[in-house]
Amino acid sequence: MLLLIDAGNTRIKWALCAPTGAAGAWLASGAAAHAQLDTLKAAWSSLAISAVLLSNVAGAAIGARLLAQLPVHLLPQAIATFASLPQLAGLRNDYRDPAQLGCDRFAAAIGAHALAPGQAVIVANCGTATTIDAITADGAFIGGMILPGLGLMASSLARNTAQLPQIASDAVLPAGFADNTDDAILSGCLAAQAGAIERAVRMHGASACLLSGGAAPRIAQALALPVPLRLLENIVMIGLQAAARASGEAGKQGEHPC
């Protein structure tokens, strides 16, 4: 079975899948904060892992610690590191320098194209940072936007502005103009996130919008879109799965795209 790992800026997400399984059909899955990374060894030791695909934007130190958690029976050639390429899994990477595109954004774009083939798509991944990217109907990643995530926006106000409080993660969503400071901060941050996504949908002429990441459920409630919205738990993982499938098919033909 294939272990997919998405090492983000705050958490490590993982899923186990069959190489030819349906998109998002996980046999097992989980997540851990960076501080709890060493607990993954026990979680993975009981799984029938035959190959690994790792997407890592958390740095070399986290990457090395993750590799140390993998079952010892895995050969080095069974462990692949996902990277942004000029083309993969039916998606063309039109970034000015394709290799400079964050591998998580590339994976999310692959996932979006796999889930909405033949459509102009906006995919927003709402984590520590919010990334908003555009994919054309014929499968080209044309670029995107990056802004601070919802939590980072709120916490930056709390840290850098006198007497403004930190917003609790379970705070009730305000509606429109708030009548207290806590709600005004959250309302403003939500409006900024939703406004950026709505603007991207209009600019791209998108026919679909995919939303993922820890803050996605909150931001989804603030969106007013003219196109269908699909909320996904982890679009990066779906993209990794599609990339692995494409790599396996290409490998049978003598190519090794990732």
Nearest to 124 by CA among 215, 205, 38, 255: 215
104 is catalytic: yes
Phi, psi dihedral angles at 176 (to 5 degrees): 70, -130
Active-site choice (6, 104, 133, 183): 104
Q: Which amino acid is residue 123, in one-letter code?
A: V
Residue 131 burial (C-beta neighbours within 10 Å; 0-12, 13-18, 19+)? buried
Residue 197 burial (C-beta neighbours within 10 Å; 0-12, 13-18, 19+)? buried
Report which secondary-structure segment, H or E, holds 168.
none
- Show the CA angle centred on residue 208, arms to residues 193 and 233, nearest 5°: 65
* Contact call for residues 107 and 55 (beta carbons, < 8 A): yes
Q: Kindly tell me the sign of the dihedral angle through the C-alpha atoms of 105, 107, 108, 113.
A: positive
Report which secondary-structure segment, H or E, holds 205.
none
Coil/strand/helix, residue 49: coil
Active site residues: 104
